[in-house]
Amino acid sequence: MKRPEESGPPNLFYKGEEAKKYARNPHIRVVQHHLAERALELLALPERTCMLLDIGCGSGLSGEVIDAAGHMWVGVDISKDMLRIAKEREDPAPVKGDLMKLDIGTGVPFSTGVFDGAISISAVQWLCYSNATSEVPFQRLKRFFLSLYKSLTMGGRAVLQVYPKDNEQLEMMMAAARNAGFTGGVVTDYPSSTKARKTYLCLFAGVASHAVKLPEPKLSVEGQVEMHTERQTGRTGKRRSSGSSMAPEKGSKEWKFQKKKRQREQGREVTSDSKYSGRKRKSFRW
């Protein structure tokens, strides 16, 4: 199924009825709340009221979680329709954060050290795609991360939940973050689960790499909400056909590639792929 990011810029994808449908979908609301709660947990904020930046705040679903935690926040998003929904919301309560329409690929225009931390749910991977000849994904990522680094207090954290298409996109995001001065890395919850796996960039501003200790990922999905998410529904609520979820035959080339991918995500050393990977070996008689 085509990824939302491949359909065009987010301000056109989250427009009109699509924005309303996204904001009202009860499953998406539950998923977004769980992701935002986990992002705040990984942020490990001090026990006081903090000022946070919500990147790609959309209709304010993650803002509800920040409000419930007792923090102040500013939300930025490129979709004016999503921001309008956030401003008009009354259920369960009006959002308390300040909202701004912004293309994060041009940078976040805030004063130095104004935020104690930043979170983002399902937004930053959109910068890995080009929708115009003038848009170079890595340059847009660099502008975003450089300005984000500047806006955080020394020692502040940013936790960005992303849906990378592949390891190459994930590496590009991390390379841009390191180029901006961030230390940290990737935390992958439920790495062995296809449905529940979630990827978070946990970034530290002004902290030496030797002093960084990444949070422990969640490994067991037992007792957790099974989060199929918009990534598998195309954000329309439609389920995939049963044939698309069939597992490859054990021992096949696809099965071998999937096994190696799981092992890489678990941090295990795996031989690199080549044109010979997964090919059947000829049998020889001696």
pLDDT in tens, 38-89: 999 999 999 999 999 999 999 999 999 999 999 999 999 999 999 999 998 8
Q: Where are the beta strands (DSSP E) in 17-124?
A: 51-55, 72-77, 98-101, 115-121
The CA–CA distances, whole Å, from 2 to 79, 228, 237 equal 20, 16, 14
φ, ψ of residue 98 in degrees (nearest 5): -80, 140
Rama region for 26: left / alpha / beta (φ>0; ψ in -120 to 50; rest): alpha
pLDDT in tens, 124-177: 999 999 988 889 999 999 999 999 999 999 999 999 999 999 999 999 999 999
Q: Is the pLDDT of residue 248 over 80?
A: no
| Residues 6+ positions from 13 with CB-CB distance below 8 Å | 4, 7
| Residues 6+ positions from 149 with CB-CB distance below 8 Å | 180, 181, 182, 205
pLDDT of residue 276: 67
What pTM does this model have?
Answer: 0.76
The CA–CA distances, whole Å, from 167 to 9, 180, 198, 257 equal 22, 20, 14, 13
Whether 217 and 188 have beta carbons less than 8 Å apart is answered as: yes
Domains of the chain with bracketed CATH: 4-233 (3.40.50.150), 249-286 (no CATH)
